[in-house]
Structure 1
Amino acid sequence: MPTPDSSAAERPTRSRNRRGEGGRLRQDILDAATALIEREGGATNLSLRQLAREAGISAPSVYAHFTDLDDVVDTVLNGFFDQLRDAIAAANAAEADPVAALHAGCGAYTRFALDHPGRYRALFDRRPTGPDATPSRPVPVRTDVFQTLVDAVATCAAAGRSATTEPFADAAAIWAALHGAVLLRLSVPGFPWPDLPVFTEALVTRTGLITD
């Protein structure tokens, strides 16, 4: 029977980088953090020792490329935000009709969340990451991602397709509704939820004050 420390001992040790390959180590650390977040369903309990073990390196090696564990997690989260923003923007751009574009972008948001639950939870659930980590900093502010939704609502209003007079506030309402719907689906998967695209469209139509 393995001892409590045998799993760590059995994990393959990462081979030493050749000169000029420091960038590979940095990416290996980010890849290890991503794998842990996806496997654990978030970044809440991530520790420096756990990250180093996953990457097959010693814990001090992390400091050659990152200030601390929070710096690693912030970098990974910014990458997740980029993925989410790009998915929303691509969905918006694929539709010429402003209301269809709004619905498509919101659909891309919910699909990202449900297809990548660990990544999604990590974006909005930053807490202290464990005894080996420095105190957790706030989630990186990425208002550019939210701005895609504000712009989509404003475009609907400009086209006379939404009754909103406050695109920012109504975009925030849409986001809150979608976020709540996503978390409920992830937390209570056995509930007989309505079809996701239909449910998402209904939420967006009501909270975005879509007129037709």
Structure 2
Amino acid sequence: MDATSSAHDETSEAQSPAPRRGRGRNPRGQGERLRDEIVSATLRLLDELGDDEALSLRAVAREVGIAATSVYIHFDDRDALVYAALERCHRDLMRDLDQVEAASPDPVGRLRSRLLFLGTWVSRHSGLYKVLHESTLNQRTHLAFKEELAERTTAAVQRCMDAGLAPVDDAMAVSLDLRAAVHGAVSMRVNEPDLPWPPLEDQIDRFLAKLVGVRPTAP
């Protein structure tokens, strides 16, 4: 190759556009961090969409800044990803509920605080609430972690009975009635927000009085 050709090749190489660089691979040992980022992005998108079937893995990948194929390294399909996201959501919710209940001095106050917090959480995260309780994923997949919510509410009702603050009854049946009432109240607020709703606190106090038989303590 003569000097002229060599110089021409060097000039062409220098003028060629640099290749675009993506996110790059995580260093060894950081695969779990990427998985957490994917789950966090999925939660944000689900809260915006309110529908797991409207979620695409490509959209999740764009949110994280990775190739869509990278999502499949951690999750087999969309349902597996949504399940993992909702499980994280549930775990965080349980942690926050523990903190709220711990601040109340008696069983009735703890039960009331629990229900009010759940109602407030739904008002902030109506999209996640829809996916968690109203999506078709509930028909395709058994969301086993949701059972803990029911069990904890039943235990809270039982503590009111054990303390003599509520009539002795079947705590599981009373809890089911109470959960149905509260879920109905918050779900209707999400789906029919323009109705003239009373304060949620007032409704919950009526549910506690009529269904559990307790007089709610002052917050």
Q: Could you tell me the TM-score, scaled by structure 1's length?
A: 0.82
In our comparison, the structure showing a higher alpha carbon Rg is 2
**What RMSD over aligned residues (CA atoms) do the two structures have, in Å?**
2.3
**Alignment correspondent of 1:66:** 75
CA distance in structure 2 between the aligned counterparts of 1:157 and 1:142, rounded to whole angstroms: 24
**Alignment correspondent of 1:121:** 130
Q: Choose 105-114 or 65-74, whichever is displaced more.
A: 65-74
Q: How far is 1:178 from its partner?
A: 0.5
**Alignment correspondent of 1:159:** 163
**For residues 136 and 57 of structure 1, do their structure 2 counterparts lie closer, same or farther at Cα, with a shift above 3 Å needed?**
farther
Gapped regions of structure 1 (runs ≥ 5):
1-12, 129-134
Gapped regions of structure 2 (runs ≥ 5):
1-20
**Alignment correspondent of 1:189:** 193
- Name the amino acid aligned to 2:48: R
- Name the amino acid aligned to 1:206: K
Pick aligned residue for 1:169 from 168, 173, 195: 173
Contact 1:164–1:170 (Cα < 8 Å) also in 2: no
Q: How far is 1:158 from its partner?
A: 0.8
**Alignment correspondent of 1:100:** 109
Contact 2:87–2:145 (Cα < 8 Å) also in 1: no
**Alignment correspondent of 2:12:** none
**Alignment correspondent of 1:131:** none
* Percent of residue pairs bearing the same amino acid type: 29
Q: Could you tell me the TM-score, scaled by structure 2's length?
A: 0.80
CA distance in structure 2 between the aligned counterparts of 1:168 and 1:29, rounded to whole angstroms: 37
Classify the secondary structure of the residue corresponding to 1:142: helix
Q: Choose 151-160 or 27-36, whichever is displaced more.
A: 27-36
- Name the amino acid aligned to 2:24: R
- Name the amino acid aligned to 2:170: E
CA distance in structure 1 between the aligned counterparts of 2:208 and 2:92, rounded to whole angstroms: 22
**Any runs of at least 4 consecutive aligned residues in structure 1 with deviations exceeding 4 A, and if so which?**
none
Q: How far is 1:114 from its partner?
A: 1.1
- Name the amino acid aligned to 1:154: Q
